[in-house]
Amino acid sequence: MHVTAADAFYSSGNFWAAAAVIVALAAGGGAMWATLRAANPRRSIHVSMHETRLLRSHASLGSTLEIRRNGALLTDPRLVQVYLRNPSRRDIASSAFDQGAPLRVDLGVPILDVLGAESSPTTAQAPPAAASGAELGIGPGRIGRRSQLTYLVLIDGDPTFACRHTLIDVEVTEADLYDPGERAGRIVERAGRIFGMIATIGIVVTFLFMLVVSVAKEIFG
């Protein structure tokens, strides 16, 4: 077919052939990326904490109420919950702890006792934890996908929060305070990405449909 200068550029068969190649390459690249993403999803851990003071000043009590541990007076006792969450779609294996080194959470004040550990779902087993000075060492141990671990410790004083680790191929993020609304925010963000992908796929499918119709008209007149 001869194309004159007056013809629209999209009426050229060469244009549509090139467009088809570009769309095919883009679709193939997207499919490869999605396949690799599904086969190797990013692994991550979110570490956070929440503290509860066991003694609060009250005018009617004065200084008559005391808390002691093994006979020693605690001046500002607090219960601290340390949360580890694995929101990713893959387990974090024990081998991800480089040379068996634990993930360390530094609370800034000595940890007096490790009171317990819980996991959600309850069928999962929380990795072992041990206190050393102001640090809580967690692991090594398997952390299941989409699971949450909770460690309860007793301290005496105002805590800080810092996390150190040598985990392999695991992104670790931390927050000063456990935020129940964070999960809702992640769900909204994920839903936005999904809707964006659906919209992109819809545009590509529409373009391909228009391309097929145009090529069919070109071939069959």
Domain with CATH 2.60.40 in the chain: 44-56+66-179
The whole-angstrom separation of Cα 55 and Cα 111 is 17
* Residue pLDDT, tens place only, 208-221: 767 666 666 666 55
State in words which class domain 44-56+66-179 has.
mainly beta
Whether the predicted pLDDT of 43 surpasses 60: yes
**For residue 73, what are the β-bridge partners?**
68
User: Average pLDDT in the 126-143 region?
Assistant: 95
Residue 127 and residue 138: Cα distance in Å, rounded?
7
Q: What is the pLDDT of residue 62?
A: 56
Q: Tell whether pTM > 0.85.
A: no
| Count of all residues that appear for the chain in the document | 221
